[in-house]
Amino acid sequence: MSVYSEFARLDATGKVTAPETPREILSPALARNAFTSFQIVVQVPKGTPYQLYVAQNPENAVRVTLYRENGDRLVPVTPPVEGDSTQVFWMDVWTDRNAPVTRIKIEPQLHVNNDWVIYPMEGRVMAATVPEGKWPQGTAAPVDVIKTLVCGTKPPAAAASADLTIPAIRFRNAQQDLALAAKAPKAELLQRFGACTAPASADPEWYFRIRDYLLKP
Protein backbone atom coordinates (compact mmCIF):
# COMPACT_ATOMS: atom_id res chain seq x y z
CA MET A 1 0.00 0.00 0.00
CA SER A 2 1.26 3.47 -0.96
CA VAL A 3 -0.06 7.01 -0.55
CA TYR A 4 0.50 9.77 -3.09
CA SER A 5 -0.50 13.40 -3.51
CA GLU A 6 -3.57 14.40 -5.50
CA PHE A 7 -1.28 15.51 -8.34
CA ALA A 8 0.72 12.30 -8.90
CA ARG A 9 -0.29 10.59 -12.12
CA LEU A 10 -1.03 6.89 -11.82
CA ASP A 11 -1.85 4.23 -14.37
CA ALA A 12 -4.45 1.48 -13.97
CA THR A 13 -1.94 -0.73 -12.14
CA GLY A 14 -1.26 1.93 -9.51
CA LYS A 15 2.19 2.71 -10.90
CA VAL A 16 3.29 6.36 -10.83
CA THR A 17 3.88 7.66 -14.34
CA ALA A 18 4.76 11.24 -13.27
CA PRO A 19 6.66 12.75 -11.62
CA GLU A 20 9.72 10.51 -11.70
CA THR A 21 10.18 10.99 -7.94
CA PRO A 22 6.78 11.66 -6.35
CA ARG A 23 6.46 13.61 -3.11
CA GLU A 24 6.66 11.44 0.00
CA ILE A 25 3.42 11.72 1.95
CA LEU A 26 4.34 11.37 5.62
CA SER A 27 3.55 14.72 7.27
CA PRO A 28 1.28 16.67 4.91
CA ALA A 29 0.07 20.19 5.71
CA LEU A 30 -3.69 20.54 6.21
CA ALA A 31 -5.37 23.91 5.73
CA ARG A 32 -8.36 24.57 7.97
CA ASN A 33 -11.88 24.97 6.58
CA ALA A 34 -10.58 23.04 3.59
CA PHE A 35 -10.24 19.71 1.87
CA THR A 36 -6.91 17.94 1.34
CA SER A 37 -6.86 14.98 -1.02
CA PHE A 38 -4.62 11.93 -1.35
CA GLN A 39 -4.42 8.83 -3.52
CA ILE A 40 -4.13 5.44 -1.83
CA VAL A 41 -2.85 2.58 -3.97
CA VAL A 42 -3.56 -0.99 -2.87
CA GLN A 43 -1.53 -3.41 -4.99
CA VAL A 44 -2.30 -7.11 -4.52
CA PRO A 45 -2.38 -10.16 -6.80
CA LYS A 46 -5.83 -10.61 -8.33
CA GLY A 47 -8.03 -12.72 -6.08
CA THR A 48 -6.35 -11.58 -2.85
CA PRO A 49 -9.06 -10.29 -0.47
CA TYR A 50 -8.35 -7.26 1.71
CA GLN A 51 -10.06 -4.63 3.83
CA LEU A 52 -9.02 -0.97 3.86
CA TYR A 53 -9.53 1.20 6.94
CA VAL A 54 -8.49 4.71 7.97
CA ALA A 55 -7.58 5.31 11.63
CA GLN A 56 -7.28 8.68 13.36
CA ASN A 57 -5.69 9.89 16.56
CA PRO A 58 -7.36 11.81 18.10
CA GLU A 59 -10.55 10.20 16.82
CA ASN A 60 -12.61 12.38 14.51
CA ALA A 61 -9.87 15.01 14.34
CA VAL A 62 -10.82 15.42 10.68
CA ARG A 63 -13.60 14.10 8.46
CA VAL A 64 -12.41 11.44 6.03
CA THR A 65 -14.27 10.35 2.92
CA LEU A 66 -13.03 7.49 0.75
CA TYR A 67 -13.68 7.04 -2.96
CA ARG A 68 -12.94 4.15 -5.29
CA GLU A 69 -11.42 5.31 -8.55
CA ASN A 70 -13.25 4.18 -11.69
CA GLY A 71 -11.58 5.83 -14.65
CA ASP A 72 -11.92 9.56 -13.95
CA ARG A 73 -15.00 8.99 -11.80
CA LEU A 74 -14.85 8.70 -8.01
CA VAL A 75 -17.38 6.40 -6.32
CA PRO A 76 -17.90 6.91 -2.56
CA VAL A 77 -17.23 3.88 -0.35
CA THR A 78 -17.56 3.27 3.38
CA PRO A 79 -14.71 1.73 5.42
CA PRO A 80 -13.88 -1.01 5.84
CA VAL A 81 -13.61 -1.14 2.07
CA GLU A 82 -13.30 -4.66 0.67
CA GLY A 83 -11.48 -5.61 -2.50
CA ASP A 84 -9.58 -8.47 -4.12
CA SER A 85 -7.44 -6.77 -6.79
CA THR A 86 -5.25 -3.72 -7.29
CA GLN A 87 -7.23 -0.53 -6.79
CA VAL A 88 -6.65 3.21 -6.49
CA PHE A 89 -8.66 4.99 -3.81
CA TRP A 90 -8.98 8.69 -3.05
CA MET A 91 -8.93 9.89 0.54
CA ASP A 92 -10.60 13.28 0.97
CA VAL A 93 -9.76 14.93 4.30
CA TRP A 94 -11.87 17.83 5.59
CA THR A 95 -10.32 19.92 8.37
CA ASP A 96 -12.68 22.13 10.36
CA ARG A 97 -11.98 25.86 10.64
CA ASN A 98 -11.83 25.53 14.45
CA ALA A 99 -9.45 22.57 14.45
CA PRO A 100 -6.47 23.14 16.78
CA VAL A 101 -3.13 23.80 15.14
CA THR A 102 -1.39 20.54 15.96
CA ARG A 103 -0.28 17.21 14.57
CA ILE A 104 -2.75 14.36 14.10
CA LYS A 105 -2.50 10.80 12.86
CA ILE A 106 -4.43 9.81 9.75
CA GLU A 107 -3.35 6.27 8.93
CA PRO A 108 -4.59 4.13 6.05
CA GLN A 109 -4.58 0.55 7.32
CA LEU A 110 -4.77 -2.55 5.13
CA HIS A 111 -5.77 -5.95 6.43
CA VAL A 112 -4.50 -8.56 3.97
CA ASN A 113 -3.25 -12.15 4.26
CA ASN A 114 -4.10 -12.16 8.00
CA ASP A 115 -1.70 -9.29 8.57
CA TRP A 116 -1.82 -5.50 8.86
CA VAL A 117 -0.04 -3.00 6.64
CA ILE A 118 -0.13 0.49 8.15
CA TYR A 119 0.89 3.66 6.34
CA PRO A 120 2.25 6.08 8.98
CA MET A 121 0.89 9.52 8.20
CA GLU A 122 0.92 12.51 10.55
CA GLY A 123 -1.06 15.47 9.30
CA ARG A 124 0.00 18.98 10.30
CA VAL A 125 -3.04 21.16 10.90
CA MET A 126 -1.90 24.63 9.87
CA ALA A 127 -3.04 28.07 10.99
CA ALA A 128 -3.94 28.87 7.36
CA THR A 129 -7.73 28.97 7.15
CA VAL A 130 -9.65 29.14 3.88
CA PRO A 131 -12.22 31.97 3.91
CA GLU A 132 -15.89 31.11 3.61
CA GLY A 133 -17.15 31.28 0.07
CA LYS A 134 -19.07 29.63 -2.72
CA TRP A 135 -16.71 28.06 -5.23
CA PRO A 136 -17.62 27.44 -8.85
CA GLN A 137 -17.56 23.91 -10.19
CA GLY A 138 -15.15 23.02 -12.95
CA THR A 139 -12.45 20.71 -14.22
CA ALA A 140 -9.64 23.09 -15.21
CA ALA A 141 -6.14 22.29 -14.00
CA PRO A 142 -5.08 23.95 -10.71
CA VAL A 143 -2.27 25.84 -12.47
CA ASP A 144 -4.86 27.50 -14.73
CA VAL A 145 -7.00 28.38 -11.72
CA ILE A 146 -4.20 30.14 -9.82
CA LYS A 147 -3.00 31.74 -13.05
CA THR A 148 -6.16 33.88 -13.11
CA LEU A 149 -4.90 35.71 -10.01
CA VAL A 150 -1.17 35.72 -10.71
CA CYS A 151 -1.29 36.52 -14.41
CA GLY A 152 -4.74 38.04 -14.84
CA THR A 153 -5.92 35.42 -17.30
CA LYS A 154 -9.56 34.68 -17.99
CA PRO A 155 -11.17 32.33 -15.41
CA PRO A 156 -11.66 28.77 -16.70
CA ALA A 157 -15.18 28.01 -17.85
CA ALA A 158 -17.43 26.37 -15.27
CA ALA A 159 -18.24 22.73 -15.91
CA ALA A 160 -20.85 21.22 -13.62
CA SER A 161 -21.36 17.46 -13.68
CA ALA A 162 -23.55 15.00 -11.81
CA ASP A 163 -20.52 12.74 -11.37
CA LEU A 164 -17.64 13.45 -9.02
CA THR A 165 -14.42 13.24 -11.00
CA ILE A 166 -10.70 13.53 -10.36
CA PRO A 167 -10.40 16.83 -12.30
CA ALA A 168 -13.36 18.22 -10.31
CA ILE A 169 -11.67 17.37 -6.99
CA ARG A 170 -8.44 19.05 -8.08
CA PHE A 171 -10.36 22.09 -9.32
CA ARG A 172 -12.22 22.37 -6.00
CA ASN A 173 -8.98 22.22 -4.04
CA ALA A 174 -7.44 24.86 -6.31
CA GLN A 175 -10.37 27.17 -5.55
CA GLN A 176 -9.37 26.94 -1.88
CA ASP A 177 -5.82 27.90 -2.83
CA LEU A 178 -7.17 30.82 -4.86
CA ALA A 179 -9.08 32.09 -1.82
CA LEU A 180 -5.93 31.93 0.31
CA ALA A 181 -3.83 33.52 -2.43
CA ALA A 182 -6.09 36.57 -2.57
CA LYS A 183 -4.42 37.86 0.60
CA ALA A 184 -0.85 36.98 -0.42
CA PRO A 185 1.59 39.49 -1.97
CA LYS A 186 1.22 39.15 -5.72
CA ALA A 187 4.95 39.67 -6.28
CA GLU A 188 5.78 36.66 -4.12
CA LEU A 189 3.17 34.53 -5.87
CA LEU A 190 4.57 35.53 -9.25
CA GLN A 191 8.09 34.70 -8.08
CA ARG A 192 6.97 31.14 -7.30
CA PHE A 193 4.75 30.81 -10.35
CA GLY A 194 7.35 32.00 -12.84
CA ALA A 195 6.79 33.54 -16.24
CA CYS A 196 3.13 33.67 -17.21
CA THR A 197 4.04 32.76 -20.80
CA ALA A 198 6.10 29.71 -19.85
CA PRO A 199 4.75 26.30 -20.93
CA ALA A 200 3.20 24.09 -18.27
CA SER A 201 5.68 21.96 -16.33
CA ALA A 202 5.88 18.26 -17.09
CA ASP A 203 6.02 17.66 -13.33
CA PRO A 204 2.41 17.52 -12.07
CA GLU A 205 3.61 18.16 -8.49
CA TRP A 206 5.19 21.46 -9.57
CA TYR A 207 2.02 23.10 -8.24
CA PHE A 208 3.18 22.45 -4.67
CA ARG A 209 5.52 25.45 -4.93
CA ILE A 210 2.33 27.55 -4.81
CA ARG A 211 0.40 25.56 -2.20
CA ASP A 212 3.37 25.13 0.12
CA TYR A 213 3.85 28.90 0.14
CA LEU A 214 0.17 29.51 0.92
CA LEU A 215 0.18 27.07 3.83
CA LYS A 216 3.51 28.03 5.35
CA PRO A 217 3.48 28.82 9.12
Q: How confident is the model at residue 154 (pLDDT cuts 50, 70, 90)?
A: confident
Q: What pTM was estimated for this model as a whole?
A: 0.94
Of 78 and 136, more confident: 78
pLDDT over 80 at 175, yes or no: yes
Enter the DSSP assignment of 165: B
pLDDT over 80 at 158, yes or no: no
What is the average per-residue pLDDT within 118-131? 97
Domain extent listing, the chain: 2-128, 130-214
What is the average per-residue pLDDT within 57-73? 95
pLDDT over 80 at 157, yes or no: no
Give the C-alpha separation, 80 to 71, whole Å.
Answer: 22
Q: How confident is the model at residue 136 (pLDDT cuts 50, 70, 90)?
A: confident
Q: How confident is the model at residue 160 (pLDDT cuts 50, 70, 90)?
A: low
CATH code assigned to 2-128: 2.60.40.10
Q: DSSP E strands: which ranges in 113-166? A: 115-118, 122-129
Give the C-alpha separation, 156 to 158, whole Å.
Answer: 6
Is residue 50 within 8 A of residue 110, CB to CB? The reply is yes
What are the distances in angstroms from CA 183 to CA 12, 160, 179?
39, 27, 8
What's the chain's average pLDDT?
94
Q: Per residue in 87-105, pLDDT tens?
A: 999 999 999 999 999 999 9
DSSP string, 9-20: EE-TTS-EEESS
pLDDT over 70 at 21, yes or no: yes
pLDDT over 80 at 25, yes or no: yes
pLDDT confidence of residue 163: 79
Is residue 154 within 8 A of residue 196, CB to CB? The reply is no
Give the C-alpha separation, 69 to 150, whole Å.
Answer: 32
Q: How confident is the model at residue 36 (pLDDT cuts 50, 70, 90)?
A: very high
Burial (CB < 10 A; 0-12, 13-18, 19+), residue 104, is buried
pLDDT over 80 at 74, yes or no: yes
